[in-house]
Structure 1
Amino acid sequence: MADATLTISSRNYSSWSLRGWLLCRMAGLDFELDLLSGSDSSTRAELLHLSPSFLVPRLTHGPVTVWDALAIGEYLNEINPGAGLLPEASAERARCRAVSAEMHGGFINLRSALPMNLRAHIPGFRIFNGAGGDIERIVAIFEDCLGRSGGPYLFGARPTLADAMYAPVCTRFRTYDVKLPFMAQTYRDTILAWDLLAEWTQAAIEEPDEIEELEIEF
């Protein structure tokens, strides 16, 4: 029997569920997956909620219950610091936390205009100014982190909390055919080729689409 349970909602639509799952896998946690039905009212509420702070994803590990992807990442780092969810150097740990928190609490225009949909591909998608500004800032984060670390991940040779937080954005860039400068494009392709993301994406493709339409950011 697994040591923990991770409760998630839609694999195709829920970027926060993806982040929580990536972090659990990166930490080497032995966990079972509890997938909420798309017809469940709490699932729909989570998918339509503008705040990332909701009760899904939710990690139950013995007597501990942690919700919110960023909190899950910090908890997993505490119980298994050797997993490398945060960089070793204190300055880089601080930077990793900062860019992860920026993803956690910002980029509302991007979330609204380019919702996560792993099964879709929309070439020529028109990006308006608000989302364009968010994309410019994300590209700047990518270029700054990669310039400092040398890549291929944001903080070096292995993925960290920051890569898990930005992975759903990379899928959005693919879905909506967002044109990126070379360094950001290379990073996006690295994330899209990540074996964990490929595993999740395949499961999303095979997942029954129980939610017919989502009208706002999820």
Structure 2
Amino acid sequence: MCMLTLVIGNKNYSSWSLRPYLVLETFGIAFDEVRILLDTPHFQEDVARWAPNRRVPALHDDGLVIWDSLAICEYINERYLDGRGWPVDVAARAQARSAAAEMHSGFGALRAQMPMNMRRTPDKYCWDDAAARDAARIQAMWRELREAHGQGGPFLCGAFSIVDAMYAPVVSRFLSYGVPMDDNARAFADAIQSLPAWNRWRDAAFAEVEYLVDTEHFRA
């Protein structure tokens, strides 16, 4: 049994769970996975056994509990990656952390109007100007990071790092809702989709079974 256990929600919906999963998987860190389905009658009871804030994700490491996606990623970086989770260059690392923090605290309109749903396909759904501004800001940030620091690889600062994991759920949202992307954003989206860890998560999301509270039946 692995010393590390990552507690997550539905792979189809849980954007915050996807972030530390990608970091662990992409950097080859072994871990066990516990999945707690969201929006079920027993979610609060089940998650309380694993997370003090009663939310996913949470990471358990030999008795130590870490909650919140960004805190988990930082812990993984310090404990298991010897700093490799962030870019080596000081300027790139500082701006990558700034971008990750902006994702962590911002873009409320985009989050609210385009919740992650990996199985969703684009339709005629419309979002408002606030969500459009969020999408434009995100793409501008991706462009700035890649132009300044991305020459060494296809990700935001060259090689894959925590900042890429923080924005991976946005890639899912852009694809699912048909958000127009410029060439740079599409290149970053392609890089994220090329990750084996992304594809394992996505395949599991498509195969996931969800509990329907109102009918007490299951659906695939």
Fold match (TM-score > 0.5): yes
Worse overlay, 119-128 or 56-65: 119-128
Deviation of the 1:81 alpha carbon: 3.1
Name the CA shift for 1:63/1:45 in 2 (closer, same or farther; >3 Å).
Answer: closer
Aligned length: 206
* Cross-structure match for 1:84: 84
Worse overlay, 186-195 or 12-21: 186-195
The reply to whether residue 10 of structure 1 matches residue 7 of structure 2 is: no
Query: What is the TM-score with the length of structure 2 in the denominator?
Result: 0.86
* Cross-structure match for 1:209: 210
Tell me the distance in 2 between the aligned counterparts of 1:212 and 1:102: 34
Where does structure 1 lack aligned partners over 5 or more consecutive residues?
A: 47-52, 214-218
Query: What is the TM-score with the length of structure 1 in the denominator?
Result: 0.87
Tell me the distance in 2 between the aligned counterparts of 1:136 and 1:89: 27
Where does structure 2 lack aligned partners over 5 or more consecutive residues?
A: 215-220
Residue pairs, 1:43-58, within 5 angstroms: 55-58=55-58
Name the CA shift for 1:102/1:128 in 2 (closer, same or farther; >3 Å).
Answer: same
Name the CA shift for 1:201/1:43 in 2 (closer, same or farther; >3 Å).
Answer: farther
Instruction: Give 2:183's aligned amino acid.
Output: F
Alpha-carbon contact 1:70-1:104 (below 8 Å) kept: yes
Deviation of the 1:127 alpha carbon: 2.5
Q: Secondary structure, in 3 states, of the residue corresponding to 1:6?
A: strand
Name the CA shift for 1:181/1:43 in 2 (closer, same or farther; >3 Å).
Answer: farther
Name the CA shift for 1:211/1:110 in 2 (closer, same or farther; >3 Å).
Answer: farther
Instruction: Give 1:208's aligned amino acid.
Output: V
Deviation of the 1:212 alpha carbon: 6.8
Deviation of the 1:80 alpha carbon: 2.4
What is the CA RMSD across the aligned residues, in angstroms?
A: 2.2
Q: Secondary structure, in 3 states, of the residue corresponding to 1:210?
A: strand
Q: 1:153 aligns with which of 144, 152, 155?
A: 155
* Cross-structure match for 2:165: 164
* Cross-structure match for 2:43: 41
Name the CA shift for 1:123/1:212 in 2 (closer, same or farther; >3 Å).
Answer: farther
* Cross-structure match for 2:179: 178
Deviation of the 1:54 alpha carbon: 6.0
Deviation of the 1:211 alpha carbon: 5.0
Larger radius of gyration: 2
Deviation of the 1:41 alpha carbon: 2.9
Name the CA shift for 1:27/1:67 in 2 (closer, same or farther; >3 Å).
Answer: farther
Tell me the distance in 2 between the aligned counterparts of 1:124 and 1:55: 32
Alpha-carbon contact 2:36-2:47 (below 8 Å) kept: no
Identity across matched positions, percent: 34
| Deviations 1:155-202 (CA, angstroms, capped at 9, x unpaired) | 10x210000000000011110111111111121122122211111000
Which structure exhibits the higher relative contact order, with contacts defined as CA atoms closer than 8 Å and separated by 6 or more residues? 1
Alpha-carbon contact 2:37-2:210 (below 8 Å) kept: no
* Cross-structure match for 1:75: 75
| Deviations 1:78-119 (CA, angstroms, capped at 9, x unpaired) | 112347210112221111111001001100000011110001
| Deviations 1:11-30 (CA, angstroms, capped at 9, x unpaired) | 10110011121122234322
* Cross-structure match for 2:217: none
Tell me the distance in 2 between the aligned counterparts of 1:87 and 1:211: 43
